Amino acid sequence: MKKFIFSILAVLLPLSFSISNVNAHCEIPCGIDDDQLRTQLIAEHATTIEKSMKQIMALSKANPTNNNQMVRWVSNKENQ
C-alpha cells in the first residue's frame, strides 16, 4: 500500500508544480468531467507503471536477456 501511495505521489507531485491555473471547459457544470474516474485512471496508470518497472528489472536480470520483451515493457511504461 505504501508503494502504491508513493507511486501516486511521484506522479502527482511534479504535475502540481507545472499547473498554473485550472479552468473548467465551460461555465455551467455539466458533469462530463468526472473527478472520481480521473482518480481511478491515475491509480491504474501508477499500477501499470509499477508493474512495468518490476518486469523491466526482472527481464534485465534474466540470462539470456529478452530485449524484445523488455522494449515492450519500456514502451508500455512510457505510454502511461
Mean pLDDT over 15-20 rounds to 61
Mean pLDDT over 68-74 rounds to 86
CA distances from 75 to 27, 40, 78 (A): 38, 22, 5
Q: Which residue has the higher pLDDT, 15 or 60?
A: 60
pLDDT band at 43 (very low <50, low <70, confident <90, very high): very high
Give me the count of residues in the chain.
80
| Domain ranges within the chain, ordered by starting residue | 49-80
